[in-house]
Amino acid sequence: QLVLCAEPGGGGWEPAAALMRRRCLRSSDVGVCPLCRKVVEYGVCCAACGGWFHATESCCGEALADAFLRSGREAWCCLNCAPRNEPPPATAAASEKTPAPAALTADLASWRHAFRLLADACGGCGRQIQLARRHVRCAQCDLAFHASEECTGLSAAKVEGACSDASWRCPTCLLHETGCTVPGGVIDEDVAKGKETRPIPIINEVDEEPLDVHLPGRSAITEFEYLPQVAWRHKRAIEQRARVPLADWGGRCIAHEACSWLPATDASRGRPVRREEEKSGGPAYNNERFLLYARDCIFECNSTSGCDESCFNRVVGRGISLPLQVFKTVGRGWGVRSRNPIRAGTFVCEYTGVMLRDEDAEAAGLEVDDSYLFNLDGEEKGQVAKRRKTSHEGPSGVDARTQDNPELCVDASRTGSVARFVNHCCDPNLFVQSVFVEYSRHVHRIALFAARDILAYEELTYDYGYVVGSVQDKTLACLCGAANCRGTLV
């Protein structure tokens, strides 16, 4: 809807075109901006005090956004007048005189968008659009862009096609509708093939590389099998699974004591051990299912608990709830992002694959891509990390490599979840949390949680936890680009 504003001394209300108009030269005081004390040649007028302001954030502040998002029947007031004065209603004649075009509704455009529409400014650089120059206009939001690679973000060939295409849509409109900034960028509607509660599309906005391309030492995405949970397929891993004790809570909900337990031991006969520190207990999540603190391990309610699926202590076991995307990065392969903002403590995804015994993974040699192995280190279940060690190394702990408690690892080289596409970063926005759901010892979920608030379409990353120098005669460069980048992974 259009925003109405009043002109001092004028007769009634006028449409939003008055927001960017020449001021009324009543006196020198009216023509000076109260904030910057400079003459206002074009600007906005407050309906309460009659003052003119430059239509900029520095002069109007948050009130500028309010001007373009208000209803057409309301007047605009500056920040000084808005809290103390109710704007007078607009006359019915003014409302009937100027119908509200759909392009200016708050549902279709932000106030910045509306400002550029009224000012006829480029949606890319923000400068004035000169009709004599070549430009392209979005058929959906009506924003104009200079016909250049810098303003449109398109290649020279695609800019030429957009100039002659009356149905061309800008990258912002495409992103809101399809989750991709280029036409045809969605190359697979769902990498999970319906195995998750929400589809996870594959996006390529970088090049024309097909999904069935084979990279050196890696398989194509088309040969990738999606697993929402860890699979037990190896014979010796299945035998080991039969010896893993289950977490049996006897019909009791542990929502308020999820952090009060440690993994089971031989002395506890498969039952979780209560922590000795009183302050270490309590719930793991709040009522909105956000993780409160990062812990060495936490326990979630399962089928043996007396609660239902609405219990706030059922998070990782419920699966992915965010609108995630697998997208092509520039120079770093595939990555993962979310279409919605993510709050700190939100569960993002679980690292899954085929469960293997550590010695079997090493025996596989080159048949297993080492970069997709995730270690579960003996009884120290909080110490989970991507695998980077050689076959001649010794055991990582006192309980490692024994018949009753062998080291386990998750192989996601050919099977796994969306987490296998999450890249490394030395300054990550995700972190790994060990979560016990079905079992009380040896086997836990490898869950990725948000370490901070994350913007929409920001790449999701976590620290792989590689130890520099852990592999002899081998280095792996880090391409994360963070300010505190270590330079190498191993």
Owner of token pair 């992103």: 175
Mean pLDDT is lowest, of 21-30, 252-261, 446-455, for 21-30
CATH 3.30.40.10 domain range(s) in the chain? 120-178
Q: Is the pLDDT of residue 244 over 50?
A: yes
Given pLDDT bands bounded at 50, 70 and 90, which one contains residue 11?
Answer: very low
280 Rama sector, left if φ>0, alpha if ψ -120 to 50, beta otherwise: alpha
Checking if the pLDDT of 197 tops 70, the result is yes
pLDDT of residue 311: 96
pLDDT-derived band at 170, boundaries 50, 70, 90: confident
**pLDDT at position 8, please?**
38
Of 434 and 489, the structure prediction assigns the larger pLDDT to 434
Average pLDDT on 187-206 reads: 91
pLDDT at 345 exceeding the cut of 90: yes
Helical H segments across 310-424, by residue range: 358-364
**What's the confidence (pLDDT) of residue 77?**
76
Per-residue pLDDT tens digits for 109-144: 455 566 566 667 788 887 878 766 788 988 888 888
Residue 229, pLDDT > 90, answer yes
Length of the chain: 490
* Greatest Cα pair distance in the chain: 92
Contact 396, 408 (CB under 8 A): no
CA distances from residue 205 to 153, 171, 183 in whole angstroms, order as listed: 11, 11, 9
Query: How is 23-73 classified by DSSP, letter by letter?
Result: PP-S-TTTTB-TTT--B-SEEEE-TTT--EE-SSHHHHTHHHHHHHHS-TT
> Could you write out the DSSP letters of every residue in 243-272?
TSPB---TT---GGGTTSEE---TTTTTSP
CA distance 63 to 56: 10
The position carrying tokens 């702990």 is 397
Q: What is 235-462's CATH superfamily?
A: SET domain (2.170.270.10)
Pure H helices in 275-397: 358-364
Higher pLDDT, 215 or 45: 45
Burial 33-56 (b: 16+ CB within 10 A, else e): bebeeeebeebbbbbbebbbbbbe
The mean of the pLDDT values for the chain is: 76
The pLDDT tens digits of the residues spanning 300-324 come to: 999 999 999 999 999 999 999 999 9
Which is it for the CA torsion 128, 134, 139, 140, positive or negative?
negative
Owner of token pair 């004035």 = 128
The residue with greater pLDDT, 393 or 428, is 428
The pTM (predicted TM-score) of the whole model is: 0.72
Burial of 292 (0-12, 13-18, 19+ CB in 10 A): middle
Between residues 257 and 142, the one the model is more confident about: 257
pLDDT at residue 258 is higher than 50:
yes
Band (pLDDT 50/70/90 cuts) for residue 344 is very high
d(CA 386, CA 349): 16
* pLDDT for res 140: 85
DSSP 358-379: HHHHHHHGGGS-GGGEEEE-TT
Q: Where in the chain is the domain with CATH 2.170.270.10?
A: 235-462
pLDDT of residue 191: 92
Q: Is the pLDDT of residue 28 over 50?
A: no
Confidence of residue 348 (pLDDT cuts 50, 70, 90): very high
pLDDT number for residue 113: 61
Fold observed for domain 120-178: Herpes Virus-1 (3.30.40)
The pLDDT score that the predictor gives to residue 110 is 53
Q: Is it the case that residue 69 has pLDDT exceeding 70?
A: no
Name the nearest CA neighbour of 292 among 262, 320, 256: 256
φ and ψ at residue 459, rounded to 5 degrees: -65, 135
Q: pLDDT > 70: what percent of the chain?
A: 70
At 457-474, the pLDDT tens digits run 999 999 988 765 555 556
Counts of helices then strands in the chain (DSSP H, E): 9, 25
Is the pLDDT at 87 greater than 90? The verdict is no
Does residue 215 carry a pLDDT above 50? Answer: no
Give the pLDDT band (50/70/90) at residue 398: very low
pLDDT digits (tens, 9 = 90+) for 39-49: 776 677 777 77
**78: nearest Cα among 57, 99, 60, 96:** 60
Of 411, 443, 446, 416, nearest in space to 431 by CA: 446
Confidence of residue 435 (pLDDT cuts 50, 70, 90): very high
Q: Which structure tokens are listed for 343?
A: 């709050």
